[in-house]
Structure 1
Amino acid sequence: MAAFGRFSQALLRSSLTQTRRQLSAAAASGHGEQSAKTWKILSFVVALPGVAVCMLNMYLKEQQHSHEQPEFVPYTHLRIRSKRFPWGDGTKTLFHNPHLNALPDGYEGHDE
């Protein structure tokens, strides 16, 4: 059993030294410079235009989006407050948006 352990360690050491030699030979031959140029070109030709197209898509979708407040429907299973929140007045959630998030009795500032 000990012989197997020594044999496996020897194989591991030899494979590590071979890998190190291959990596150092590749670095000495200038392979790193070529791959750096390739990634730089890909960044400017593919990545930046891709980000620009995604930003344009988001902008156009936002322009088509309606900014109307959704209709309040007082469902009994939504906006249940069994105890008050420990911040503010106790009825608003931590990230409360008065335009989109309704309170248990309706939206803020609307007397309907």
Structure 2
Amino acid sequence: MSLKGKWEGFYDAPSPFGRTQFSLVISEKLCKVSENGTFNGEGEDKEGSFTVSGKVDGAQIEFVKNYKDPKGHQNIEYKGKLSQTDEEGIKIDGKYFYLYKAFFLKLNVSEIFEMKKI
């Protein structure tokens, strides 16, 4: 299964934020997928543009998302499973983990995400 290409998906956030759609590109031009399973990519959602870097090992995939804006969220960890079916094509689903910080508040966030190769 090749990771290279365009992806679309969503991640859920705690109330009141809800579901957010995103797009991601993993391509030779923007990044690379190496023989040892590491990859890089770029994407966008309503929060802004971001980069991802990660590793795939068999069906397990992990990556970190960082928004390009220095004031944006950083070090959002995604862990999931890569799968392929005739009906859905190639997809990744799993959970993301993030320490949300605002003023004196710190909250560990862990919600679901899903993305499909288009």
TM range (shorter): under 0.3
Larger helix share, 1 or 2: 1
Which structure has more RCO (C-alpha within 8 Å, separation ≥ 6)? 2
Return the TM-score normalized by structure 1. 0.18
